[in-house]
Structure 1
Amino acid sequence: MKTKLAILGAIAFAVVAGGGVTAWLSGVGPFAKHHAAATTPAKQIEGQAQAATPDSRFVTLDKLIVMLNAPDAARSRYLALDLIFQTDGKREKQVKDQLPLLRSTAYRALSDYSMDDMRGMDVDQLTSVLQEAYVNAYGEVGKVPFSSVQIGRQMLE
């Protein structure tokens, strides 16, 4: 009897452990957030982001105002951002010329979020949302004319 119980216990342990490993590898359940964060195109850009070098240039996008999604709110809510794009000297003019596209892409990416969503995000999560939106807008990581986007100022009202 004890042998059968030990065998059943070992089988149950193997099934549970196998299910846990499968969930972890496929990004299901409590592992979904970790899995999604590790595989997004934004993480590919972050891997390319480098420390400032003598050739680094920083292009600013000031006063991006995004009206947040608030269907039941009595008053409008908005997010104000100043963005900073790190690029090299060769692509600085390209980034400056594309500031209207960068502004529009950021607005489109953030306008579906609510005030509560924004309060729940830290700066790194918000930066990842923006980086992923830029990768989608340009089609692939290699076409994005900057190595990183940073948030210079953030204000929720």
Structure 2
Amino acid sequence: MKMKRRILVAALALTVVAGGAGAAWYYTQRPGGKPAPVQPEAVDYKYVSLEKVIVMLRDGTGSSVPHYLAMDLVFKTSGKQEKITKEHLPLLRSVALKALADYPVEKANRMSIDQFAVALNQAFTAAYARDHAEKPFAEAMIGKLIIE
């Protein structure tokens, strides 16, 4: 009886050691000795357009010549939230107008497209935070920008 128990314990120990050795071998065969990364589920993004956001820019020089900024926006959203993003387009236009209306023409002329995108994304995030709501899009991008 004791002999059978010893053989059983030895077989169990050997199985555990062999399993550990096999796992160690597998991990060392991978680049960097790390397990394969878990791939996140790919999001099927949709793009919703908001065209012709037009803002009159302030002119600090006192000139009577009006200056305008015209912009087309594109919202990157998931397929599940595409409809909600489309329903929010009037709100998004209003937030963009409010964010851009205070820019003087001199500053707007010096800004890059990336700087405008950052400013708008911050304005959208702040607006949704004030309303205690989740943004229905991942990012706002600029499709067209004209400053006259």
TM over 0.5: yes
- The partner residue of 2:66 within 76, 86, 92 is 76
| 1:147 aligned onto 2:138 | yes
1:126 match: 116
Q: CA deviation at 1:73?
A: 2.0
- The partner residue of 1:57 within 34, 42, 46 is 46
Q: Percent sequence identity over matched residues? A: 41
- Tell me how far apart the structure 2 counterparts of residues 123 and 105 of structure 1 sit (CA, whole Å): 18
SS of residue matched to 1:100? helix
Q: CA deviation at 1:142?
A: 7.5
Q: Return the letter of the residue paired with 2:57.
A: L
Within 5 Å, give how 1:25-40 maps onto structure 2: none
Q: Deviations over 1:81-106 (max 9, x none)?
A: 00000000110000000000000000
Larger radius of gyration: 2
Q: What are the ranges of 5 or more consecutive residues in structure 1 without an aligned counterpart?
A: 1-52
Give the TM-score normalised by structure 1: 0.63
SS of residue matched to 2:80? coil
- Tell me how far apart the structure 2 counterparts of residues 62 and 74 of structure 1 sit (CA, whole Å): 27
Q: What are the ranges of 5 or more consecutive residues in structure 2 without an aligned counterpart?
A: 1-41
Farther off after superposition, 137-146 or 77-86: 137-146
Q: CA deviation at 1:144?
A: 1.2
Q: Deviations over 1:82-141 (max 9, x none)?
A: 000000011000000000000000000000001111111111110010000001100079
- Give the 4+ runs in structure 1 shifted more than 2 A: none
Q: Deviations over 1:2-55 (max 9, x none)?
A: xxxxxxxxxxxxxxxxxxxxxxxxxxxxxxxxxxxxxxxxxxxxxxxxxxx661
Give yes or no for contact 2:73–2:141 (8 Å, CA) kept in 1. yes
Q: Return the letter of the residue paired with 2:126.
A: N
Give the TM-score normalised by structure 2: 0.67
Give yes or no for contact 2:43–2:78 (8 Å, CA) kept in 1. no
For these two proteins, the number of residue pairs brought into alignment is 105
